[in-house]
């Protein structure tokens, strides 16, 4: 939602709609694949997304005034 508030006026509608799209996607995928997996494998699969996000942005983060791990 924050990106929609700081974006240019021409792009604001497109960025605002992504919140609803990702919300629907995040509700659909677990309901679609959840019944066919065990709880352990389902949780391991869902753990991959935040781990991939952390690894990606740990190495390719932008310049910031706040150091990450120091």
pLDDT tens digits along 14-44: 888 888 898 999 899 999 998 999 999 999 9
pLDDT tens digits along 46-69: 999 999 988 888 877 766 656 555
In the numeric block, which tokens belong to residue 69?
């791990």
Q: What is the pLDDT of residue 38?
A: 94
Domain ranges for the chain: 2-52
Q: What is the pLDDT of residue 69?
A: 58
In the numeric block, which tokens belong to residue 38?
């065990």
Backbone dihedral angles phi then psi of residue 66, each to the nearest 5 degrees: -105, 115
The pLDDT confidence band at residue 6, using thresholds 50, 70 and 90, is confident
User: Could you identify the residue written with the tokens 């494998």?
Assistant: 41
């Amino acid at each position: 939602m924050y990106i929609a508030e700081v974006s240019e006026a021409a792009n604001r509608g497109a960025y605002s709609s992504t919140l609803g799209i990702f919300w629907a996607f995040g509700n659909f995928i677990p309901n679609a694949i959840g019944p066919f997996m065990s709880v352990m494998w389902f949780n391991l699969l869902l753990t991959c997304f935040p781990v991939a996000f952390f690894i990606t942005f740990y190495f390719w983060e932008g310049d910031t005034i706040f150091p990450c791990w120091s």
